[in-house]
A and B are shown apart, each in its own frame.
Chain A
Amino acid sequence: MEFRTVFSAEEALETLTQEGIQAKILAGGTDLVVQMKRKEIEPGVLVHIKRASDLKEILSSDTTRIGSLVSHADLVDSKLIQLNYGSLANAASQIGGWQTQVIGTIGGNVANASPAADLVPPLLVHGAIVHLASKRRRRSIPLNEFLIGRRKTALAADELIIGFELEPKSKHSADKYLKVGRRSAMEVAIVGLAIRMTLEDDLETISKIRIAVASCGPKAFLADSASSILTGMRVTSTLISEAGELLLTEANPVDDVRASATYRKRLLPNLLGRAIVGCIETIREAEKGR
């Protein structure tokens, strides 16, 4: 197996084009190297991209762009992310432990496409667009379309994730990420749930809401039915229950070594309720603070 270091996105693309499917991008390696050791993958060429400084920036203008090599620790520490995309910073802080967070990257987490990937639900609720590049072309597609299934993405063999673009934060909005695991850290999510909510000026009516769930299907999904029943409505416990029921119809959990489908279905509706109530509290607290 050949190990090749590149120093820019351009160089990486050059290598990917040359080597084809036997080349794999190595960012932090926290997933890749484990898979290599288990002989789940056996790449011919590892493209060591960690030195490419042009992929490490977080830029905010109207939208926010996060370079694919931004580490989980960078997301946690970024004031911009904490303020505007708190659920993303929170999710990043719950990936593995310190050793994982300093070298793992947002690009790696998404490209690995584990159904339990922690960053995916927050990215989905913030309407993330994935920017891809190859020598042939540049393209941008919604994250939802980029993720195809368990360990399957739309990434072509000669393509590289350049970064992600998130919608700007709205007025009267909040976002939350709730992760269910057994231990306090170092967990692959049993369920990961993110919501992004915007309230009307009355601070009672939901003007916009997105709900995303991980680990309840081959890939994380946006719960459109549950979201639409909540949109334009004042929040009541009955409404939350109904949304919970709808969420269950959209979720497709299976039994795995971490937990059973039954458990995941049991906790989803209440978890949604907890996230919704939490968001509303946060939005109202922020208003009071003005």
Chain B
Amino acid sequence: MNITLSVNERTQTVQIDGSETLLEMLRNHLGLLGTKEGCTEGECGACSVLVDGQPVHSCIYLAAATEGCQVLTIEGISHGDELSKLQSELINGGGVQCGFCTPGFVVVLTALLKKSSNPSASEIRNALSGNICRCTGYTQIVESVLQLTEGKKTSNKSNLMINGSMS
């Protein structure tokens, strides 16, 4: 079947099978490899994209259901060489290590910041329940968001001391 949708603000008409997932369509038909497959069962969040502004696990979202929808992937968040403020902050704040989970986190956090301009640390963590990071232990990701919204990290940052003095 053919479907027509907007992907990163560009209209696309794609020929797909009814049982294909949005993730498969993005990676195999549209060449958008930034959205990752980590588990294929909606557990790890590496495949997160926005459908009409809502975060979904694209590995368990059927492509055919996106007919007429606006899909935003990681590729649509930066423009050329220009990163979004969130992306820059994640880099500066130590929120990127192996980076495999990063597209999913960027997408979900982008949606969060549209919904709430000043989320608390626990609201951020709650919003990230469907995203696993195995490298960072989450703290520096959460702090990057807080640095963006509040201009400061949590007090924990000051807890990194070396030989008795602040780092």
Check whether chain A touches chain B (CB < 8 angstroms): yes
Query: CB distance B42 to A3 under 8 Å?
Result: no
Decide: A185 near B43, CB < 8 A? Known: A29-B62, A98-B108: no
Decide: A98 near B130, CB < 8 A? Known: A34-B60, A37-B60: yes
Stretch at the interface among A99-107, A219-227, A231-239: A99-107
Q: How far is it, in angstroms, between the C-alpha of A102 and the C-alpha of B52 when the chains are bound?
A: 11
Residue from the list A5, A26, A99 in contact with B57, Cβ < 8 A:
A99
Q: How far is it, in angstroms, between the C-alpha of A96 and the C-alpha of B56 when the chains are bound?
A: 12
Residue from the list A50, A97, A102, A184 in contact with B65, Cβ < 8 A:
A50
For residue B1, CB closer than 8 A to chain A, the reply is yes
For residue B100, CB closer than 8 A to chain A, the reply is no
Query: CB distance A33 to B61 under 8 Å?
Result: yes
For residue B129, CB closer than 8 A to chain A, the reply is yes
Residue from the list A26, A29, A34, A48 in contact with B41, Cβ < 8 A:
A34
Q: Which of B29-62 contact A (CB under 8 A)?
A: 40-43, 45, 48, 54-57, 60-62
For residue A30, CB closer than 8 A to chain B, the reply is yes
For residue B87, CB closer than 8 A to chain A, the reply is no
For residue A267, CB closer than 8 A to chain B, the reply is no
For residue A1, CB closer than 8 A to chain B, the reply is yes
Q: How far is it, in angstroms, between the C-alpha of A84 and the C-alpha of B156 when the chains are bound?
A: 39
For residue B21, CB closer than 8 A to chain A, the reply is yes
Give chain A's interface residue range (CB within 8 Å of chain B): 20 to 34
Decide: A2 near B130, CB < 8 A? Known: A33-B61, A37-B41, A97-B45: no
Shortest Cβ distance from A96 into B: residue: B130
Residues of A within 8 A of B18 (CB): 1-3, 46
Decide: A34 near B42, CB < 8 A? Known: A98-B108, A184-B129: yes
Residue from the list B1, B17, B56 in contact with A99, Cβ < 8 A:
B56
Query: CB distance B108 to A99 under 8 Å?
Result: yes
Q: Which of A18-76 contact B (CB under 8 A)?
A: 26, 29-30, 33-34, 36-38, 46, 48, 50
Query: CB distance B42 to A30 under 8 Å?
Result: yes
Q: Which one of B42, B67, B108 has the highest number of Cβ atoms from chain A below 10 Å of its Cβ?
A: B42
Q: How far is it, in angstroms, between the C-alpha of A2 and the C-alpha of B127 when the chains are bound?
A: 34
Residues of B within 8 A of A48 (CB): 62, 64-65
Shortest Cβ distance from B16 into A: residue: A3
For residue A186, CB closer than 8 A to chain B, the reply is yes
Q: Which one of A1, A2, A96, A97 has the highest number of Cβ atoms from chain B below 10 Å of its Cβ?
A: A97
Query: CB distance A97 to B130 under 8 Å?
Result: yes
Interface size on B, residues (CB 8 A): 28
Residues of A within 8 A of B17 (CB): 1
Q: How far is it, in angstroms, between the C-alpha of A249 and the C-alpha of B50 when the chains are bound?
A: 47
For residue B117, CB closer than 8 A to chain A, the reply is no
Minimum CB–CB distance for A7 against chain B, Å:
11
Query: CB distance A98 to B55 under 8 Å?
Result: yes
Minimum CB–CB distance for B160 against chain A, Å:
25
For residue B159, CB closer than 8 A to chain A, the reply is no
Minimum CB–CB distance for B136 against chain A, Å:
17
Query: CB distance B60 to A3 under 8 Å?
Result: no
Shortest Cβ distance from A99 into B: residue: B130
For residue B19, CB closer than 8 A to chain A, the reply is yes
Query: CB distance A33 to B60 under 8 Å?
Result: yes
- 24 A/B residue pairs, CB under 8 Å, sorted by A: A3-B1, A3-B18, A5-B64, A29-B62, A30-B42, A33-B60, A36-B19, A38-B41, A96-B129, A97-B128, A97-B129, A97-B130, A97-B131, A98-B55, A98-B128, A98-B129, A99-B45, A99-B55, A99-B56, A100-B130, A102-B54, A102-B56, A185-B130, A186-B129
The 10 closest A-B pairs by CB, nearest first: A97-B130, A97-B129, A3-B18, A185-B129, A3-B64, A99-B130, A33-B60, A102-B54, A1-B19, A99-B57
Chain A residues in contact with chain B, CB under 8 A? 1-3, 5, 26, 29-30, 33-34, 36-38, 46, 48, 50, 96-100, 102-103, 184-186
Since A3-B62, A48-B62, A103-B56 are in contact, a sample of 8 more A-B pairs with Cβ atoms closer than 8 Å, ordered by chain A residue number, is A1-B17, A1-B18, A30-B42, A30-B57, A98-B127, A99-B56, A102-B54, A102-B55
